[in-house]
Structure 1
Amino acid sequence: MDEGKEILRILKELILKDSPTGYHEKAMDYVREELTDAGIAFKTTNKGAVIAKISGKRPEGLLYSAHTDTLGGMVKSIRDKGTLEFTLIGGYMFNTLESENCKVLTSDGKLISGTVQTTKPSVHIDSNEARTLERVQANMEVVLDERVSSKDDVVKLGIGVGDFVFMDPKLMILDNGFVKSRYLDDKASAAVLLAAARKLKDMEPERSIYFFISNYEEVGHGASAGIPEEITEFIAVDMGAPGNNQNSSEFKVNICAKDSTGPYDYALRKRLVSICERESIPYAVDIYPSYGSDASAALGAGHDLRTGLIGPGVFASHGYERTHLDSLMATFDLVVKYAMEKA
């Protein structure tokens, strides 16, 4: 198996399946299809997460997590002029959505095209106000690609409050290894884990390896429930965040020492670093001051676990994101190597 091609294949399929938090069926169906095709046993939790298992020689288990839910939007209100006010799902910044194409999913399953704009989108009309207008919910709207000029016109299309708004991911996979798209957080890591599961299923690990693909991470409770009792270690595989004053990299696996919820398990982090150094896996250790993971959610729910956080470097997180195949492969290598360790 060419692991790099496999990761990119899965990533492309996941990115193209809209899955803002709360609308997860298509993405999770794809996860189940991949696991079924690989011959890996799994179950679905009441909340819709998928937990796969590769049995090891000992009962105690290591759990990896990634999430397929993403940022997104919902219709908040229909304005009198026929545009839509929308509320955000997860930690978007409104300015990153300006002028983006989107789709509105009606309750009867229709997709209606639109564009995110400010309420003063033209410098030829509003001049300086178009440039200085604060990018907040009251000043943003979805302009539908339909002949509508009133609230009644929009209602007749089948659009209502609570309908999901899907932002165009703008996926680009370049020949030089760069990948640009929305929602690399965390579909890049989900692709890594699904590829790693295929690799590990025939390798007879010492302990059982679990893969928890969650669907409510962006709103804070993805892995707060459903964790098997035999799990002793939980490694969240989520994005690393390169940027100003950060040590993370788009070309390495990134190992988080601490995020907004506090330090991750020190002994576990040292073992991850040791494997990277022993196996020549490029890595960086970093701290993320405005970050939480599925491992954090598990600890917050009271689970008694040793936790860690690793992942590919994702530049411009929660915006139009970018990573590199080298980072995906470094993360894949660490996931596989640590799973085969004798803990």
Structure 2
Amino acid sequence: MNLPNVEETIVLIKKLVEIPSPSGNTEKVISFVEEYLADFDVQTKRNRKGGLIVTIPGKETTKHRMLTAHVDTLGAMVKEIKPSGRLKLDLIGGFKFNAIEGEYCQIETSSGKTFNGTILMHQTSVHVYKDAGSAERNQANMEVRIDEKVSTAEQVRELGIEVGDFVSLDPRVQVLDSGYIKSRHLDDKASVAILLQLINNVVKEKIELPYTTHFLISNNEEIGYGGNSNVTAETVEYLAVDMGAMGDGQLTDEYTASICVKDASGPYHFGLRKNLVKLAEEYGVGYKLDIYPYYGSDASAAIRAGNDIVHGLIGPGIDSSHAYERTHKDSIEETTKLLWHYLQADMVE
């Protein structure tokens, strides 16, 4: 069994998280994925939404599998240029302002120019504002301080910055000797790296998959509809590979693969879940079953769109989702192992 090398997967994760890709502005990261796959003998095509579909023919062509992971991330848009030259934000994706206070960011104009900034409370200075600690972290109070000599809205517009420009967060990625990976956007670029490495291995090892298998690198998951299309009529099983959510009452950890049994969309397919558990136990994969109470995936989006499929969700366990996230190489390795065996296993009967 020649599994993908986990150290190589982590290198790929680092490259992916360093490419800004808030939902709605994912061209650069999709192009990176295309270039990564260019040396492999695989069929790729973009869908009209800008996502990428990779197809590997299998022994059985009348039944297909589909796996998906998403490269789009949380981010923001310029909502308003304030008279002070600061920017008001409108958030992209389901996260909270308190999770980005003090974060470095990058503003990308429609012409492609980029400017650095910092996301701060308007009332940040404790020497000036009595409510610096107590004021609500919300759209009205938080703003971007641009790292340019600007103090009026007119000066900001002279830079080329305008309402609707995308704002991305500095990932601050760190790979530690202890095996931990800390970064923003491990949701879901950790899973994307896992899928890309699996594709690499299937091609390199000349593995004949039992079923024609599609890999969708989706680019609109954070806003709810990344994986709801491009599902072939032959697709029977649809497996989303996305982060496992950690917190009070959760079993998911940073060292095993998380198999989701239910999220906010409802239960995932019981038969597919049982098959995944069977594979994990047969091949000694560390796993946890879990429920994610405030969560939806590309697989649930595909079900809502009316696709007649068997759907599931697994992924590496990630701490502090939608904030400064962390996982461990053990979870990356266990998730990779489970997916490697899944790709070569029989479907749900």
Q: TM-score range by the shorter chain?
A: over 0.9
Q: Which residue of 2 aligns with 1:63?
A: 66
The two structures, once aligned, show a CA RMSD in angstroms of 1.0
Q: Which residue of 1 aligns with 2:111?
A: 108
Instruction: Tell me if the contact between 1:35 and 1:41 (Cα under 8 Å) persists in the aligned partners.
Output: no
Q: Which residue of 1 aligns with 2:323?
A: 319
Q: Which residue of 2 aligns with 1:72?
A: 75
Q: What does 1:158-169 correspond to in 2, within 5 Å? A: 158-169=160-171
SS of alignment partner, residue 64 of structure 2:
strand
Query: Residues of 1 paired with 2:166 and 2:159: CA distance?
Result: 14
Q: Which residue of 2 aligns with 1:81?
A: 84
Picking from 94, 97, 103, the partner of 2:97 is 94
Q: Which residue of 1 aligns with 2:294?
A: 290
User: Alpha-carbon deviations, 1:77-102, whole Å to 9, x = none?
Assistant: 00001100010000121011111111
Identity within the alignment, %: 45
Query: Residues of 2 paired with 1:225 and 1:303: CA distance?
Result: 9
Query: Residues of 2 paired with 1:226 and 1:340: CA distance?
Result: 23
Picking from 31, 35, 43, the partner of 1:29 is 31
Structure 1 segments unaligned to the other structure (5+ residues): none
Q: Is 1:259 matched up with 2:263?
A: yes
Query: Residues of 1 paired with 2:162 and 2:127: CA distance?
Result: 32
Q: Which residue of 2 aligns with 1:302?
A: 306
Return 108-117 or 35-44, whichever deviates more: 35-44
Instruction: Tell me if the contact between 1:217 and 1:294 (Cα under 8 Å) persists in the aligned partners.
Output: yes
> Which has the larger helix fraction?
1
Instruction: Tell me if the contact between 1:102 and 1:114 (Cα under 8 Å) persists in the aligned partners.
Output: yes
Shift of 1:342: 2.5
Q: Which residue of 2 aligns with 1:40?
A: 42
Please tell me the residue identity of whatever aligns with 1:205: L
Instruction: Tell me if the contact between 1:55 and 1:209 (Cα under 8 Å) persists in the aligned partners.
Output: yes
Picking from 146, 152, 156, the partner of 2:148 is 146
TM-score with structure 2 setting the length: 0.96
Query: Residues of 2 paired with 1:193 and 1:108: CA distance?
Result: 32
Query: Residues of 2 paired with 1:160 and 1:259: CA distance?
Result: 38
SS of alignment partner, residue 200 of structure 1:
helix
Picking from 326, 334, 339, the partner of 1:335 is 339
SS of alignment partner, residue 124 of structure 1:
coil
TM-score with structure 1 setting the length: 0.98
Q: What does 1:117-136 correspond to in 2, within 5 Å? A: 117-127=120-130, 129-136=131-138
SS of alignment partner, residue 133 of structure 2:
helix
SS of alignment partner, residue 258 of structure 1:
strand
User: Alpha-carbon deviations, 1:273-331, whole Å to 9, x = none?
Assistant: 01111101000000011000000000000000000000000100000000011101111
Query: Residues of 1 paired with 2:294 and 2:13: CA distance?
Result: 25
Q: What does 1:233-272 correspond to in 2, within 5 Å? A: 233-272=237-276
Picking from 278, 282, 287, the partner of 2:282 is 278
Query: Residues of 2 paired with 1:249 and 1:258: CA distance?
Result: 17
Query: Residues of 2 paired with 1:342 and 1:320: CA distance?
Result: 38
Please tell me the residue identity of whatever aligns with 2:121: T
Instruction: Tell me if the contact between 1:104 and 1:111 (Cα under 8 Å) persists in the aligned partners.
Output: yes
Structure 1: 4+ residue segments shifted above 3 A: none
SS of alignment partner, residue 61 of structure 1:
strand
Picking from 20, 25, 48, the partner of 1:18 is 20
Please tell me the residue identity of whatever aligns with 1:224: N
SS of alignment partner, residue 216 of structure 2:
strand
Query: Residues of 2 paired with 1:108 and 1:78: CA distance?
Result: 18
Please tell me the residue identity of whatever aligns with 1:262: G
Structure 2 segments unaligned to the other structure (5+ residues): none
Query: Residues of 2 paired with 1:108 and 1:175: CA distance?
Result: 40
SS of alignment partner, residue 127 of structure 2:
helix
